[in-house]
Copies of this chain bind each other. A is one copy, B any other.
């Protein structure tokens, strides 16, 4: 209960979303309070206070016994200057951990529980361990649809919320998992050319070989200040920017930073994550794309339908106009996998190149058509034709070029990596399946998305007939070590199955 003053010191260590405090082992407060490493402590000064996990230091160069060190995050959060006097004591547990423990015990939580939890997380009262406990306790099927709604609403309440001052702000989101699926880069210019407001922010790839932000970066700057993003959207009705700077729904970012290394996710958390982000960004109308296929995230039509209902229920509760489209996720979309190759595919579609990948064009038109039908002036069923006209007439290309200019154009170069490996058919027959997961892994091993020119270029897709020795796809890499590693991986399994037409899995066979 003693709380002698220590001198605050900023330690230039980035501990991401976790506050860490550094105290010398000879520090009197440490000895008197009986702290131990990994204890949670409370640091207070002038009415400002934060919680942090304690690391014990034996090196005066890092902190002296008279000092308390704080990692960058913790220092910024405490928001006082260095050399301030701070006092330290045992932190009480975050009060909302009681609710987490109730959830662990199988109880159903209420809105106020989720509000308390997200508030504590937003204010950094949860350690990574506690966030992991929350995620596991609310993972899998342990949240009912009302709990998912409460969680979404609570996450939304903890951050700021953009307002665009228009009746319709549209957006689209794909739950992911399909390589080459760069439809946003076609949907945005088509929909914006129709005149609808579509301020699209995207993520960079985390586990995939390319995110929309990585691919857009081939053409233009994507790291935009909120002010610049606003200007571009006002002027061009759309943008394709990286969402990382916006700090919308911060609790979602913090939970994802724990969820991802754990490799856990659940439908409830996914729905809450997507909807809280989209609502925070000011969307009023949202189209969700759920690809289904044996190597997609959602593997059965029944699971896709259940997920669709959950999206619809939570969306309705939160007052967003939401539609879900279930798409064919049996193989990659387009030909290229990796930022440069995917950018090339996008530009071919926009330029109405006869060689443009037809599946990417068709899927993008279908999605854009559905969004255009959110427009009250469009007659039901006419969206697709409008989208096609916009694309065919070159208006989509013109809009894309305007957005690229607005964001700051890069000199796009579609040449892939210097090393190229041809993967050939080992027998004659029909391509009956292409594994999404394996193709993504090959592209990543080859260097994507860090090396933008690395990736995979598919020359054959499911349903194509091939002869033994025909090239199925090219693998490109910029670095020899990556190239060798990718080749080794392909030797084990190349992701393609060649057989008979009857062996192709039918899309509706997943039902």
Contacts and interface: CB of A to CB of B under 8 A. Distances in A.
Given A38-B18, A263-B101, A132 B136 contact: yes
A137 interface: yes
A357 to B, nearest CB: 28
Nearest to A18: B38
Contact of A1 (B32, B97, B485): B485
A140 B105 contact: yes
Interface string A220-246: 000000000000000000000000000
Interface in A1-56: 1-2, 11-18, 20, 22, 25, 32-34, 36-40, 55-56
A398 interface: no
B14 A58 contact: yes
A277 interface: no
Nearest to A205: B34
Of A18, A55, A127, A137, most B-chain CB atoms within 10 Å? A55
Contacts of A106: 140
A38 B13 contact: no
Interface stretch (A254-262, A299-307, A387-395, A405-413): A254-262
A479 interface: yes
A460 to B, nearest CB: 27
Contact of A104 (B17, B56, B127, B136): B136
Given A37-B16, A140-B106, A133 B130 contact: no
Nearest to A24: B12
Interface in A467-483: 479, 481-482
B72 A14 contact: no
A260 to B, nearest CB: 9
Contacts of A105: 140
A422 interface: no
A152 to B, nearest CB: 21
Nearest to A134: B136
Contacts of A139: 104
B40 A261 contact: yes
A481 B15 CA distance: 34
A385 interface: no
Of A18, A39, A106, A132, most B-chain CB atoms within 10 Å? A132
Interface in A345-362: none
A154 to B, nearest CB: 20
A104 B140 contact: yes
Contacts of A56: 13-14
A12 B62 CA distance: 9
Of A25, A106, A128, A482, most B-chain CB atoms within 10 Å? A128
Interface string A271-282: 000000000000
Interface string A137-171: 10110000000000000000000000000000000
A200 B320 CA distance: 64
A59 interface: yes
A456 interface: no
A358 to B, nearest CB: 33
A58 B15 contact: no
Nearest to A260: B38
A246 to B, nearest CB: 18
B133 A38 contact: no
Interface string A106-134: 10000000000000000000011111110
Nearest to A25: B14
Given A1-B482, A15-B37, A61-B61, 5 more contacts: A14-B57, A38-B257, A93-B263, A129-B262, A130-B132
Name the 10 nearest CB pairs between A and B, nearest first: A12-B59, A16-B37, A12-B58, A14-B56, A132-B132, A136-B136, A129-B132, A16-B38, A34-B450, A14-B37
11 contacts: A1-B481, A1-B482, A13-B57, A14-B55, A14-B57, A16-B37, A101-B264, A130-B132, A132-B132, A132-B133, A132-B136
